[in-house]
Each structure stands twice: as C-alpha cells, then as structure tokens.
Amino acid sequence: MFDDKFFDDWLDSQAQKVMEKVATGEGIAPEQMMILMLKAQTNHFAHLDIDLRNEIKLLREDMDKRFEQIQIEAVKRFEQVDKRFEQMQIESAKRFEQVDKRFEQLTSRLDHFMMWSFATTISVGGMIVAAIKFL
C-alpha cells in the first residue's frame, strides 16, 4: 500500500535541503523543522527495529538452548525409567519363577498326599473286608 523506499528517498532529499539551509545559517520554517523531526524519528525507529530484531534473535537462541537442555534431561529421565522398568520386569520374572516353584512343590505334596490317602483307604478297606470275611 505504501512504498517505504519512496518515502525514505523523499524524506532524505527534504532533510538534506533543510540541513543545507541550516549549514548556511538561514532560518528554517516550522514545516522544515517538522521534516527534520520526522527524519530523526524514522532513524530512531530504524535503530529500534534493528535492536528489537537482535534481541528477539538472542531470545530465540537462548530458548533453543533451553529446549535442547530440557530434551537432553527428558531423554535421560526416560532412560532411567526404562532401566527401572527393565529391573521391575526382571524382578517380576524372578518372583513368578519362585511362585511357580512353590506351586510345583504344593502340587507334588498334594499328589503324595492323595496317593497316601488312596493307599490308606485301600488298606483300611482291605482290612475291613478281611475282618468281615474272617468273622
């Protein structure tokens, strides 16, 4: 919409004319003083723009460094969590093996008890049958 280059060229030429008048000692009109003020403001804005861009660039660099540090810390924490998870898996496997061994022992004891119980029942039954036949 508005060409900055055109405006800057016009303002530079007008400011140069006013400065030539000031250099020769001539007086300047309020309109000409306004041109010098406008030129000073545009220069000030240009410097502020440069400073602001540099500040934003530094802030971005600082933010990038902080994000990298956070990412490195997050990776370390995830690795620690992964190690802990692996340890828990190993411990769980060991506990499962212990439970499995205890289950096998219990099953074996139950099998022996059932055999003993069956043998005792057969023996007692045999004695009762023998005693009935004998009497």
3-state helix/strand/coil string of 77-114: HHHHHHHHHHHHHHHHHHHHHHHHHHHHHHHHHHHHHH
Banded model confidence at residue 3, pLDDT cuts 50, 70, 90: low
| Cβ neighbour number for residue 35 with a 10 Å cutoff | 20
Residue 54, token pair as written in the block: 């540099």
pLDDT tens, residue by residue, 13-45? 999 999 998 889 888 889 999 999 999 999 999
Percent of the chain whose predicted confidence (pLDDT) is above 70:
98
pLDDT tens, residue by residue, 105-120? 999 999 999 999 999 9
Sequence ranges of the domains in the chain: 4-134
Residue-averaged pLDDT of the chain: 91
